[in-house]
Each structure stands twice: as structure tokens, then as C-alpha cells.
Chain A
Amino acid sequence: MFEILEKKSLNPTVTLMKISAPRVAKKCEPGQFIILRTDEDGERIPLTIADFDRTKGTVTIIFQIVGATTEKLNHMNQGDCLHDFAGPLGRATETDGLKKVAVVGGGVGCAIAYPVAKKLHELGVEVHSIVGFRNKELVILEDEFKAASSKFVLMSDDGSVGEKGLVTDALKKLIESGEKYDRVITIGPLIMMKFVCQLTKQYEIPTVASMNPIMIDGTGMCGGCRLTVGGETKFACVDGPEFDGHLIDFDEAMARGAMYKPFERKAHEDTCNLFKQEVE
């Protein structure tokens, strides 16, 4: 069993948990993910690893409450145990030979972008972090990003914090001002990553996007996470989750990501109603 050692609310819909999982903690690297189930009849959901501590044997996950399982997960507390926690899965972020990198994160994707920025920073890479949120209330990991970056730009859709605008606006400004990146790493909503990749393609900056599709086993068995990269079918679980952003078919990925939306919405409502009844 995998005990929740710490639980912290980062914003109204995003929660951080430190999980005891020594085997995973021993092996994992930034960019990789785990699959968990909350209870015996639970569904398997993939979550990218946000941080880890090899000596303490802990793995940190950060999740946004979007469906029934994340709702259930958010109702678990310190001392509770997750039923299953398997990983690390997928390939780690490639960091070899990098000198100067722009890390572009959006929303809860920043939770995954942060460990990448941190690792690059530790390796001596010059890191510029550009992170975007809808509004001030939703900002997460600001201090952590600042500590790992030589340049930090915070954007918000409504201008309630940082600069008003999109991450692509900020990235474009930096590039136009003469910053030369050998790679852009982007993690966030598909639509955001799509536009980041379109932008960097114009400037011919190699770009990596971290994909987070629907999957079941996470080991290459189901093929549910497949996506088209450069005209070829790839499995995000074993070939990714990071891919050449200039080759990803984002429109297809967006359609696939919406496959169970109606089901998910209903399941989420049902779960919320269940929790409400328990309270009443």
C-alpha cells in the first residue's frame, strides 16, 4: 500500500500529495509518470511525477480535480493509502547537451514543467521559465520556478497577476529580443502546446511537448494513448510522453482527449453528489 504522507492544496482545484513509494522514488526521473488507483474498483489514471526524494522514498504528484477519480483522490488525506501506484513509466526528459532552454508551462502542466526546469537548472543549464494561468487564484509553484530559473515570466489570461496575455506572447517577446534557446520544452493544455509549437517552428527552435493522453496500463499494452507524430503512430506511454512538438498531430490528440468527456462529467457529478450526501 502506498501511504499519503503529505497533502497540500495548491489552489482551489489543484492538490499536491507526497506518496510513499520507495521503488518508484529510487528510479524515477523528471518527465516520467506513474499510474495510480485510489481503491479496489478504481480506474487507472496516469499522473506525471512532480518531484521525488530518493532517500525518503517519496514521490510527489500534483493533480487537478477534473473527474471522478481525481475527486476521490482529493478526498483522501494524509495517512490514507492509495490502492495502487505503479511506475516510473515513460521516458525521462532528455537533457544531454543543452545549454539554454525555455520551459513553457500552462495551468496544472506547470506541475510537470517544474521538475524539468529544476533538473536542467541543477545541470547548469540556463533556464527561462514562462508559466501561464487563467488568473491569480490558480498560480502554483511560483517560488519553486523562480528558484530554478534565471528568468521567470508569469502570465495570466485576465492580467490579475503577472503580465496579461498568453505564454506564446511572452515566448515570442523573448525570442524577438534576441534570446537564443537550443530547446523549448512545453507542458500544458494541448491547445497551448499546439500554439507554442507553431511559434517555435517559425523560429526553427527544437521543441519538445509532453503529452498526457488517456491510457490504461501505461506499458504499451492497450494502445489507447496512441498519437500521430510525423505521420507515424506512437504510444505516449512507452515512446513518450515527450515528443518532437513540430511533428505532433495536435488536432487528433485533442479529439482523442475528449473521447470520454461526457462520461467523465457525469461520473464526476455522481461522485460529488456521493460526497455531498456523506457530509449531510
Chain B
Amino acid sequence: MPNMSLKKNEMPVQNPEVRNSNFNEVALGYTEEQAIDEAKRCLNCKNKPCTNGCPVKIYIPEFISQVAEGNFEEAYKIISKSSSLPAVCGRVCPQETQCEAKCVRGIKGEPVAIGRLERFVADWHNAQPETPVEKPVSNGHKVAVIGSGPSGLACASDLAKKGYDVTIFEALHVAGGVLSYGIPEFRLPKSIVQKEIDGLKALGVKIETNTIIGKTISVDELINDEGFESIFIGSGAGLPRFMNIKGENLNGVYSANEFLTRINLMKAYKSDNSTPVQAGRKAVVVGGGNVAMDAARCAKRMGADVYIVYRRTENELPARAEEVEHAKEEGIIFKFLTNPVEIKSNEKGWVKSIVCQQMELSEPDASGRAKPVPIPDAFIEIEADSVIMSIGTSPNPLIKSTTEGLDTQKWGGIIADENGLTSKEGVYAGGDAVTGAATVILAMGAGKTAAAAMDKYIQK
């Protein structure tokens, strides 16, 4: 008999007053009882609308029915057939616009908590004693993956399982891409990312850190000199955008990338650390996406009073509702319909305040979102010690500019077909490097699609 409760089982979280000054994970995960109880809310629909809402088509009702029976390892196996990073996706996927948006239970009441269940299953599996992984039998073919973010990890995983000799090249000193440098510890513990990477290494995947493709070695050299038969480019969208307003290069103005990299990758939040970051007493974050929420919540944890400045209203915030909710609970103050026009300096060249123009919404523009229009002569000035620009990123031109015959869009995205094939034979691409900044799950899906196409290409 299904559990007919209209509400999801709540997931325990750290108290907002406590968590806003520590970097431990905010959400604590279901207990076994909570998971089984929630799993029983699933109606096991025949046509699986939830699976259709999932970019990598996880067999959702199947794994949930195993959870309902208490067969957690079986549930893990089912998820693993489609996803390489369940512990990650269970945490950072926007389920509310994907699988859960399609859930029949959501028509009257709340959908089944698919994301929370995925996370539970992955965490349960990871807590079990490790079973030795069987290395797949080598098929004698050598492939390279550029970038160790979600798309690269997924691509490498699928290829390694098929017996390929896979080498991942990573520019930074740590693997994981945005999972390591971008998403904060309190939302995605780095031990989980490391576990996924260790899993890949156990499959025989080699990871060469400190290797910047396009600088240390080029794509063409990988093919011609090092004998890689096919290459996947998953170099992400790591180039920060700025607003080009006055004062943006003052001391105390960070790109969200820099601020988050200092904190997450370089561990600036630990007192014994060698990389500094200065959020100051008052921090202003500009932007309304998930990255802006991450930056704001990090600044809060570094001891600052934090404002988020966004030029539209709460309804248009691109960040996930859950992230916005968490940010508010933690005491982040939102200033909607405000758009920075200038950052003012103190006598020492540091940020003193940020001047914003007040906006109002007009009719929706071509993108379907209401367009913010400045209200003449309506300005506010917010005092600040630091300003964190979180208005988006674009793909890094390093690979494009050093690879013969690799076509890109005007804005920098690599052009790839539905299988990830680029304009260059044997070279595939996926994730943010192709689409521009998007989600972990879409990147992972693109990595998997390309892996299948690369396999076909080599085996033909």
C-alpha cells in the first residue's frame, strides 16, 4: 500500500543559525526509515514520466521500488546503470525542474523526493565496506579526456568500463573541475567528489593534473605524438564575466570564480591555510544564479554580512528555489530590482561602497523573462568591503585558439553535433564547453553520449 502523504519527508538539515558559520554540509540526508517511507510514496507509474524528465534517463521507479523494499545496494546498481555520479547529482541536480517536475504525485501535493532518495542510496552505498573493483579487460585503444569536471568524469567512466585506456588531463592541481573549485563544501563535500575520482582510478583511469591543454600540450599533439585515437573536450565554461563598470578592478572586488576558488579549491576558509581571501565585514554579491548563492553563503560563513544584488525580482532568480531558501534562512539579504552602476573606493584603493540603480520590470523580452528597466535618478548606495561579481562565465578560448580546425560559436562555445562530434575528426566535446554554463547533470549526460559515440568511432 503506497504512502499517500501529500508531502515529501523532510530531510534533516543543520540549524541555519549554526550552519551559517561553519562549512559542514547543510543537508544531512535521510535515515533508512525516512528513505523507505518516502520511497513508498512512489506509484511506480508504467509510463515513467520521471525518467523522461531525467537528462540521463535513470530508471527511477525501479530504483525507488528497491529502496521501498530496503534493497539499497540493488537500488544503487540500478542508478549506476545510467549515472556515474549519483552522490553528486543527488545533491546538486535541479530535480524540481527535471524528474520531480514530471512526478504524478506532484499534481496533487508534493512530488516524490527523488533527489533525496538518490542521494540516500549513493551515500548508503559509499558507507559500505569497499568491494574491490574488477578492472575491465583492456581493448587496447587509447583515448584522452580533457577536463575532470562532470562531463569528463562521466565520459572517462563509461570508456574505462568498455576497456579503453583512458587518460584525463586536468589544468589544476586537483581533479573534479567545478565540483572541486566551484561548489562549496557545505553543499557538496569534497570527500564525495574524491570518492568518485578514486572509483575512476580503480577502473584504471589515469589522471594527469597540472596539464593545460593548449599550453602544456595541444590537442593535435595528443593525437599525432602521443597516440590518442579519440579525444573528449570537457573543459567547461570557466572564464568569468565582469560588468565593465567603474571601480571593478578595486581591491576587494572578486569574480565569483576567484572567490569560490580561493575558498573551495585553496581552502581559504581553514585558519591554517596559506591562500587568503577577504570578504570583510560587509560583502555584496552581484547576480542571482546558483553560483551567486554559493558565493553569498561562503561570504556569510567567512563572517560577513551579505547582500545579494539582483536586477530583476525574486520570481526571475535563476538559482534553484532550495538554494534561495537556504540563503535566506542563513541571513543573506536580497536587494531585488537593483543594478550596480559603480563601485566606489576608499583612499587606499579598496572597495568602500557599491552604487546601484533601481529598476522596474517591463514586458517580457525575447528570452521570455521580464526585462529590467532603470528608473531614472533612483540610486542607492550600499556600503561594502568586498564585491563578488557573479554574472556568469563563458568557455575558455585556450583550446579553441590552439587546435587546428576546431570550430566554435561566436561566443566561444565549441560546435558539436548531437553525439558530441566536433568539426575535427575523432574529437568530441560536451558539457559547458559546448552549451555555456549549465548544470552538472547535463554535462554528465553529454559526457556519456560522447563516450558512446567515441566507442563507435574507434570500433568501426
Selected contact of A223 from candidates B181, B258, B265, CB within 8 Å: B258
- Could you tell me if A255 and B349 are in contact, using CB atoms closer than 8 angstroms? yes
Return chain A residues, CB-CB under 8 Å to B181: 221
Given contact pairs A222-B261, A256-B251, A24 touches B216 in the complex (Cβ within 8 A): yes
- Could you tell me if B238 and A221 are in contact, using CB atoms closer than 8 angstroms? yes
Most buried by B among A42, A84, A86, A258: A86
- Could you tell me if B210 and A221 are in contact, using CB atoms closer than 8 angstroms? no
Find the A residue at minimum CB distance from B252. A259
Stretch at the interface among A170-178, A179-187, A188-196, A226-234: A226-234
- Could you tell me if A41 and B249 are in contact, using CB atoms closer than 8 angstroms? no
Return chain A residues, CB-CB under 8 Å to B261: 216-217, 221-222
- Could you tell me if A221 and B396 are in contact, using CB atoms closer than 8 angstroms? yes
- Could you tell me if A86 and B173 are in contact, using CB atoms closer than 8 angstroms? yes
The yes or no answer to A161 lying at the interface (CB within 8 A) is no
Find the A residue at minimum CB distance from B393. A221
- Could you tell me if B215 and A226 are in contact, using CB atoms closer than 8 angstroms? no
Interface size band for B: 35 or more
The yes or no answer to B194 lying at the interface (CB within 8 A) is no
Most buried by B among A217, A219, A223, A252: A223
Stretch at the interface among B94-102, B240-248, B304-312: B240-248
Stretch at the interface among B69-77, B119-127, B270-278: B270-278
Given contact pairs A223-B258, A252-B249, A255-B251, A216 touches B212 in the complex (Cβ within 8 A): no
- Could you tell me if A216 and B258 are in contact, using CB atoms closer than 8 angstroms? yes
Selected contact of A233 from candidates B212, B249, B250, B254, CB within 8 Å: B249
Selected contact of B396 from candidates A27, A44, A89, A219, CB within 8 Å: A219
Selected contact of B172 from candidates A85, A88, A217, A256, CB within 8 Å: A217
The yes or no answer to B398 lying at the interface (CB within 8 A) is yes
Return chain B residues, CB-CB under 8 Å to A24: 216
The yes or no answer to A272 lying at the interface (CB within 8 A) is no
The yes or no answer to B171 lying at the interface (CB within 8 A) is yes
Return chain B residues, CB-CB under 8 Å to A86: 171-173, 210-212, 216
- Could you tell me if A220 and B215 are in contact, using CB atoms closer than 8 angstroms? no
Return chain B residues, CB-CB under 8 Å to A205: none
The yes or no answer to B217 lying at the interface (CB within 8 A) is yes
The yes or no answer to A203 lying at the interface (CB within 8 A) is no
Find the A residue at minimum CB distance from B276. A263
Return chain A residues, CB-CB under 8 Å to B255: 222-224
**Interface majority SS (helix, strand, loop, mixed), chain A:** mixed
- Could you tell me if B249 and A44 are in contact, using CB atoms closer than 8 angstroms? no
Binary B-proximity of A258-269 (CB < 8 A = 1, otherwise 0)? 111001000100
Selected contact of A88 from candidates B215, B249, B252, CB within 8 Å: B215
Selected contact of A222 from candidates B252, B257, B274, B349, CB within 8 Å: B257
Task: State how many angstroms separate the Cβ of A158 from the closest Cβ of chain B.
Answer: 30
Return chain B residues, CB-CB under 8 Å to A41: 267, 272-274
Binary A-proximity of B260-284 (CB < 8 A = 1, otherwise 0)? 0110011100001111101000000
The yes or no answer to B52 lying at the interface (CB within 8 A) is no
Q: Report the Cα distance A267→B276, complex, angstroms.
A: 10
Return chain B residues, CB-CB under 8 Å to A223: 240, 242, 254-255, 257-258
Task: State how many angstroms separate the Cβ of B96 from the closest Cβ of chain A.
Answer: 29
Return chain A residues, CB-CB under 8 Å to B398: 219-220, 238
Return chain A residues, CB-CB under 8 Å to B172: 86, 217
Task: State how many angstroms separate the Cβ of B363 from the closest Cβ of chain A.
Answer: 33
Given contact pairs A43-B275, A44-B173, A223-B242, A27 touches B215 in the complex (Cβ within 8 A): yes
The yes or no answer to A68 lying at the interface (CB within 8 A) is yes
Selected contact of A43 from candidates B217, B251, B274, B397, CB within 8 Å: B274
Task: State how many angstroms separate the Cβ of A66 from the closest Cβ of chain B.
Answer: 14
- Could you tell me if A227 and B249 are in contact, using CB atoms closer than 8 angstroms? yes
Instruction: Mark out the residues of chain A between 73 and 97 whose CB falls within 8 Å of any chain B CB in the assembled complex.
Output: 83-89
The yes or no answer to A69 lying at the interface (CB within 8 A) is yes
Task: State how many angstroms separate the Cβ of B178 from the closest Cβ of chain A.
Answer: 10
Find the A residue at minimum CB distance from B348. A255
The yes or no answer to A8 lying at the interface (CB within 8 A) is no
The yes or no answer to A37 lying at the interface (CB within 8 A) is yes
Q: Report the Cα distance A252→B348, complex, angstroms.
A: 11
- Could you tell me if B173 and A37 are in contact, using CB atoms closer than 8 angstroms? yes
The yes or no answer to A56 lying at the interface (CB within 8 A) is no
- Could you tell me if B217 and A27 are in contact, using CB atoms closer than 8 angstroms? yes
Return chain A residues, CB-CB under 8 Å to B348: 255
Task: State how many angstroms separate the Cβ of B336 from the closest Cβ of chain A.
Answer: 26
Task: State how many angstroms separate the Cβ of B78 from the closest Cβ of chain A.
Answer: 37
Q: Report the Cα distance A62→B52, complex, angstroms.
A: 58
Find the A residue at minimum CB distance from B238. A221
The yes or no answer to A54 lying at the interface (CB within 8 A) is no
Return chain B residues, CB-CB under 8 Å to A263: 276
Q: Report the Cα distance A193→B210, complex, angstroms.
A: 31
Q: Report the Cα distance A220→B255, complex, angstroms.
A: 11
The yes or no answer to B209 lying at the interface (CB within 8 A) is yes
Return chain B residues, CB-CB under 8 Å to A69: 274
Task: State how many angstroms separate the Cβ of A217 from the closest Cβ of chain B.
Answer: 6
- Could you tell me if A233 and B210 are in contact, using CB atoms closer than 8 angstroms? no
Return chain B residues, CB-CB under 8 Å to A217: 171-172, 261
- Could you tell me if A23 and B216 are in contact, using CB atoms closer than 8 angstroms? yes
Find the B residue at minimum CB distance from A90. B215
Return chain B residues, CB-CB under 8 Å to A238: 397-398
Return chain A residues, CB-CB under 8 Å to B278: 259-260
Q: Report the Cα distance A255→B272, complex, angstroms.
A: 26
Given contact pairs A87-B212, A219-B212, A222-B240, A44 touches B251 in the complex (Cβ within 8 A): no
A-B contact pairs, 9 of them (CB 8 A): A41-B273, A43-B275, A86-B212, A86-B216, A89-B215, A223-B254, A226-B249, A260-B276, A263-B276
New A-B contacts (15) at CB < 8 Å, excluding given A24-B216, A260-B276: A41-B267, A69-B274, A86-B211, A87-B216, A89-B212, A216-B266, A219-B238, A221-B261, A223-B258, A227-B249, A238-B397, A255-B348, A258-B251, A263-B276, A267-B274
- 10 interchain residue pairs of minimum CB distance: A255-B349, A222-B258, A86-B210, A223-B255, A221-B238, A43-B274, A84-B173, A43-B275, A263-B276, A223-B240
